[in-house]
Amino acid sequence: MNTITKPQHIGRNISRIRELRGIKQETLAIAIGVSQQTISNIENSKDVEEIKLEQIAKELGIKVEAIKNFSDEALFNYFSHFFDNSTEQVNYNNFSFNPLNKIIELYEQLLQAEKKKNEYLEKLLNKYFNKGQTLEDLL
Assign residue 31 the CATH number of its domain.
1.10.260.40
Q: What is the pLDDT of residue 131?
A: 64
Examine the pLDDT at 136 and tell me if it is beyond 50.
yes
Helix (H) or strand (E) holding 115: helix 99-129
Asked if 4 and 33 sit in the same domain, the reply is yes
CA distance 61 to 111: 23
If pLDDT is split at 50, 70 and 90, which confidence band does 86 have? very low
- What is the b/e burial string over 39-68, where b = at least 16 CB atoms within 10 angstroms of the residue's CB? beebbeeeebeeebbebbbebbebbbebbe
Q: Is the pLDDT of residue 31 over 50?
A: yes
Q: How far apart are the first and last CA of the chain?
A: 70
Same domain, 15 and 74: yes
pTM across the whole model = 0.52
For the beta carbon of residue 75, count every other beta carbon within 10 angstroms: 16
User: Is residue 50 domain-shared with residue 87, that is, in the same domain?
Assistant: yes
pLDDT over threshold 90, residue 89 = no
Instruction: Give the tens place of pLDDT for each residue, 36-85.
Output: 999 999 999 999 999 999 999 999 888 888 888 887 776 666 556 555 54
Domain that holds residue 83: 1-97
Q: Are residues 139 and 127 part of one domain?
A: yes
**Are 50 and 89 part of one and the same domain?**
yes
The confidence score (pLDDT) of residue 43 equals 93
State the pLDDT at residue 82: 53
Higher pLDDT, 28 or 136: 28
Same domain, 42 and 92: yes
Domain count within the chain = 2
- Residue 121 predicted with pLDDT over 50: yes
Distance CA 81, CA 87 (A): 10
